[in-house]
Amino acid sequence: MAIRPTKWAGAAAFACVCSFAHSAALAATYVVKTSNPANQTFTTASGAQLVNLGEGNGSVLRVQTVGPSTRLVILFNGECSVAGPNHVDWLRVEILVDGVVAPPSGGLGHALCTSDGDSALDNWITAASDASLVVGPGVHAVQLRGQVQGGAATNWWLGDLSLIVIAQNQ
């Protein structure tokens, strides 16, 4: 009979370790990233367009979440330029999660870069945008969608981009 309590004690210890490991996995913070050093030129006639994120991801970076509630902090930066004949055309790049604009990256006033008035893709700047939201468990699609606002620009350019997603299970 002395063996039996030892078996139960071992089983209880194993269950405790498994429970702790499961809890630690749910409390984890992890990072998913991609980058694309290539230059991408888009025409304004095509309207809103998804950006190639690089590293074999195409236009979608997939993030797997396991907790019932996970905060995603999404950080994006890249060089950009807008070819417009005035100083009022701008590039809006929205961060999408599962096809929905993640705040605060949406809205007409959210300019990543502006034209300098010479109708050329020059005077590049490096700009950044971020978003934060809470999602449930599953695989989530993170995308970047760009579109020129203002009306007179003919095309826009984006290069040397990086996209980082920090996921924190809550």
Instruction: Determine the 3-state secondary structure of 80 from DSSP.
Output: strand
What distance in Å separates the CA atoms of residue 158 and residue 128, rounded to the nearest whole number? 12
What distance in Å separates the CA atoms of residue 85 and residue 117, rounded to the nearest whole number? 4
How high is the pLDDT of residue 19? 36
How high is the pLDDT of residue 27? 59
CB-based contact 163:79 (threshold 8 Å)? no
pLDDT by residue (tens digit) across 154-168? 999 999 999 999 999
pLDDT by residue (tens digit) across 82-137? 999 998 899 999 999 999 999 887 766 688 999 999 999 998 999 999 999 999 99
What does the domain layout of the chain look like in residue ranges? Answer: 29-169
What angle (nearest 5°) sits at the alpha carbon of residue 139, between those of residues 35 and 77?
Answer: 25
pLDDT by residue (tens digit) across 23-78? 444 558 999 999 999 999 999 888 899 999 999 999 999 999 988 999 999 999 99
Q: Which one is the CATH code of 29-169: 1.20.1090.10, 3.40.50.300, 2.60.120.40, 2.40.50.140?
A: 2.60.120.40
